[in-house]
Amino acid sequence: MSTAGLEVRGLDIRYDTTRGVVHAVSGIDFDVRAGELLGLIGESGCGKTTTAMALLRLLQPPGRTHAGTATLGGVDLLALSGEQLRRVRWSKVAFIPQGAQNSLNPVLPVGRQLADVIKAHTDDRIDRSALRERILGHLNSVGLPSRVADMYPHQLSGGMKQRACIAMAIALEPELIIADEPTSALDVIVQRVVAQTLDNIKKRLDVAIVMIGHDMGLMAQLADRIAVMYAGKIVESGPTAEVFAAPAHPYTAQLVGSVPTPGKDLTVMTGEHRMPDLRHPPAGCIFQGRCPKAADVCRGTAPPAVRVSPDRISFCHFAQAQPPASSVSEDVSHE
């Protein structure tokens, strides 16, 4: 397995509509290392799921990938087509959907669906008993009893269906798993069970995971790093603990402040009531219309990538950059 994981560069996604071209995702970059979970967060409509669909090559017209690369194990996923693309799905890149009920085939037992995934991507014929043993092993690895293999989706609870989808995603031990809000349709207790299952899978298979979600508390527990999206751009990324403890971008600060916390007032979004019209993105900073710190420079110049710490970037004119290593050494030597 590649230790590099996934490297996305310059991903640009557009929707061609009768009212103009929508710049849904605008030239974003991010990495997901092997054995790491990257949490992709931001309000609805910011481009999270669109990004996931593009990486999976499931983006439907009028959406299209205008530019960019997504390299996994030395292969650009966005350049594949036909048989190449079919062979990569499930075996290299797998998907965990938001709604398992709508993703599982209602007329086939769960075990049969797992078998179809395995047989479709295995060149050699598999003995029936060996295949059965393999299926039960995958189900057991996500905390499901062996009897689930012979059950139909309607006979399973929401959490069991979601874990069945996870079992399908790991059936061929892929290098990358994309999970689109995998716990959003579940109650709080079941959410934690599914989240723990994902964490166990990440560690056991050393797989890179991109998880899309709105639950900040869940992300704080599961994600190794966070990428914050707003209006088609990543505005801040870095280690989860650092980003949540001291946000370096005003939008991140407002997201963190919107989480109910005993003894603290909720943060209310300032300025305009909605994201900008992405048919005509504003010049300068994309967040200027809702930012309490917006100044003239924000309205005329796009913010640079400011390296707040070795593994953390914020796209804000007012973010504080980490001093160069030489300066830090000099400061320490004078103490």
pLDDT attached to residue 335: 35
pLDDT attached to residue 253: 93
Task: With a cut of 70, say whether residue 3 has pLDDT above it.
Answer: no
CB burial readout 123-160, b (16+ within 10 A) else e: eeeeeeeebeebbbebbebbbbeeebbebebeebebbb
> Cα dihedral sign for 34, 39, 45, 46?
negative
Q: What is the pLDDT of residues 274-322, one digit of tens each?
A: 889 999 999 999 999 999 999 999 999 999 999 999 999 999 999 987 6
Residues in the chain: 335
pLDDT attached to residue 323: 62
Task: With a cut of 90, say whether residue 98 has pLDDT above it.
Answer: no
Residue 158 CA, chain-centre distance (Å), reads 21
pLDDT interval class at 325 (50, 70, 90): very low
Residues 6+ apart with CB under 8 A from 39: 211, 213, 219, 222, 223, 225, 226, 227, 240
pLDDT attached to residue 125: 80
Residues 6+ apart with CB under 8 A from 202: 35, 36, 37, 209
Q: What is the pLDDT of residues 156-201, one digit of tens each?
A: 998 899 999 999 999 999 999 999 988 877 888 888 888 889 999 9
Structure tokens at 321: 């950059």
Are 171 and 114 in contact by the 8 Å Cβ rule? The answer is yes
pTM as predicted: 0.90
Compute the mean pLDDT over every residue in the chain, rounded to the nearest whole number.
Answer: 89
Task: With a cut of 60, say whether residue 99 has pLDDT above it.
Answer: yes
Give the mean pLDDT of 72-94.
92
Of 289, 233, 307, the residue nearest 12 (C-alpha)? 233
Burial (CB count <10 Å: 0-12, 13-18, 19+), residue 25: buried
Task: With a cut of 80, say whether residue 242 has pLDDT above it.
Answer: yes
pLDDT attached to residue 322: 67
Give the mean pLDDT of 59-70.
96
Structure tokens at 126: 């598999």
